[in-house]
Structure 1
Amino acid sequence: MGSWQRSSYSGGMDNQECVEVSRNDGVIRLRESDEPGVVIRTTPSNLAALIRAVKVKVV
C-alpha cells in the first residue's frame, strides 16, 4: 500500500482535521485523519471528476 499524504493546508501532522490520500496500483484511497479506519476507494478519473465538480460547485 502507498503511504498516506495530507495537504500542507491541513496545519501539519498534529492536526486531526484533514483528508489524507494514498495511491497504490491505480487505486486512490481517501480517509479522514480522525477516522483512519474508514477508507473510500476510487479511481484517478473518478476523483478528478469529483474535484472538477466541486470547483464549479456542481456537487
Structure 2
Amino acid sequence: MSRVEIRWRKSSFSADPEGNCIELALHEGDVLVRESDEPGAVVKITPAKLRAFLASAKAGKFDGLT
C-alpha cells in the first residue's frame, strides 16, 4: 500500500512560541484540520462546510461558547 504525503499549512499569523496552532490540508477534495500539538487527531470537512463555519465564527455566532 502506498502512503500519500499530506502538506499541512498553518497560518503565518500563528505567534504561539510553542508552535501550537490549527493546521489545514487539502486531500481528495476535502479539507483536513488538526491541532499541531495533536497531529494524530484529524477532522475531515468539505470546503463548503468549512466556509459556512468560518462565516458563522466571523459573525459571532459562537461567542457564547468561551
Q: Within 2, Cα distance between the matches of 1:5 and 1:20? A: 5
Highest Rg: 1 or 2? Answer: 2
Name the structure 2 match of 1:37.
Answer: 40
TM-score (norm 2): 0.78
Gap runs ≥5 in structure 1: none
Aligned residues: 57
* Aligned-CA RMSD value: 1.6
Residue 11 of structure 1: CA displacement?
3.2
Gap runs ≥5 in structure 2: none
Runs of 4+ in structure 1 displaced over 2 angstroms? none
Q: Relative contact order (alpha carbons < 8 A, sep ≥ 6): 1 or 2 greater?
A: 1
